[in-house]
Structure 1
């Protein structure tokens, strides 16, 4: 089986070199390209495809948020993972809204990075426990807005249950097991959630859930 190709986008060469060391002995993954910023990465991506793009947020010329937004528009199916030192809630929410499939911090160890990559390439989203805690802590101290968006078709209790488990990073199978339903039914609930909320992807659902206290 051919190795999955990865593109690294980070303005610090020492970080890119360190990450490449993680993959040196791996037969599953191949770092096929590097870029110093979002602009350079988009230029490379115009003519090449990669199974996964790993990007930082703070970069010159084009930051990771703008890069992710542009890449998601150009290649809607592209798998994107944020790997950054920025653990502030605002950065996490901006990247989730931009469309990343995962968000982990640079202090994560090799095993968690590989777990995140594997999860994302298998079609699920991955947010490290530390990132999830940051979001949850932020929401626990957030005042509820006086006005909320009222959906024309409100979410059912079951849809809310599914959404809560999505926020907790449960896979489709784990959601199915927890709620005693089939994986196919979980997929149907996810489609309904996307349609009702107007979100474009699962990351958007996470942001929606946090903003509406569905946790």
Structure 2
């Protein structure tokens, strides 16, 4: 049996995935987590073969948890789940060590197929994600000048960027990410410089032009 940990802050999503697992004879639910710290704690207890990790997790977002898990459990396969377009997070997830990226709209057959593949040591990459990954590799090698400006942001800078674009203040972001206001202000300055914007309004407009979903609430 493949023992799966579901990490998502929405109970209805967890219930939906549980039903998918129940219909598969070789996959079983090993646990649930509604936020980042719960996910880490449950994995540390052991008995997990595959982690299904939502990106938009409260307290610590899914990519933060992914990075921590890969540090502590480098061989544990983590399959990222998201409602965001593939181009926003797929490549970032894979670079941080995820073994796949799956949209929450995936049907039961695709979900179970992805779990089985990563549990067996493989990667689950859809054709669309493969295209984005190939594009990112190409841009990194010889087309750096064509790389979108926001692709230059680090993971933490990208988090702060989306929160700023959603209208969050430096203080609110500091509280949410458990950082000092000075640290967030430093990230903000780097983000403005890297994206060529002068203030939060221009940054929000940049996000709209690039079709990047801002964080209006949560992480």
Post-superposition offset of 1:135: 4.6
Take 2:139 and 2:13, find their aligned partners in 1: how far apart are those partners?
34
Secondary structure at the counterpart of residue 19 of structure 2: helix
Aligned residue in 2 for 1:195: none
Q: Pick the aligned partner of 1:33 from 25, 31, 38.
A: 31
Take 1:85 and 1:72, find their aligned partners in 2: how far apart are those partners?
23
CA contact (8 A) 1:104 1:131 kept: no
Aligned residue in 1 for 2:98: 100
CA contact (8 A) 2:8 2:33 kept: yes
Aligned residue in 2 for 1:48: 46
Pair 1:75-2:87 in alignment: no
Q: Pick the aligned partner of 2:87 from 58, 68, 89.
A: 89
Q: How many pairs does the alignment contain?
A: 145
1:107-152 Cα offsets, whole Å, 9 max, x none, are 1111111111111111111112333345557788998126xxxxxx
Take 1:93 and 1:141, find their aligned partners in 2: how far apart are those partners?
12
Aligned residue in 2 for 1:145: 144
CA contact (8 A) 1:87 1:131 kept: no
1:50-78 Cα offsets, whole Å, 9 max, x none, are 01000110111011100000001011110
Q: Select between 26-35 and 89-98 the one with higher mean Cα deviation.
A: 89-98
Take 1:54 and 1:67, find their aligned partners in 2: how far apart are those partners?
11
Relative to the length of structure 1, the TM-score reads 0.61
CA contact (8 A) 2:91 2:136 kept: no
Secondary structure at the counterpart of residue 26 of structure 1: coil
Q: How does 1:1-215 map to 2 (within 5 A)?
A: 3-135=1-133, 144-145=143-144
Secondary structure at the counterpart of residue 90 of structure 2: helix
Select the structure that is richer in helix: 2
CA contact (8 A) 2:77 2:119 kept: yes
Take 2:101 and 2:12, find their aligned partners in 1: how far apart are those partners?
20
Where structure 1 has 5 or more consecutive residues not aligned to the other structure, the ranges are 147-215
Take 1:105 and 1:97, find their aligned partners in 2: how far apart are those partners?
17
Secondary structure at the counterpart of residue 46 of structure 1: helix
Post-superposition offset of 1:101: 0.7
Take 2:59 and 2:95, find their aligned partners in 1: how far apart are those partners?
21
Where structure 2 has 5 or more consecutive residues not aligned to the other structure, the ranges are 146-219
Secondary structure at the counterpart of residue 63 of structure 2: helix
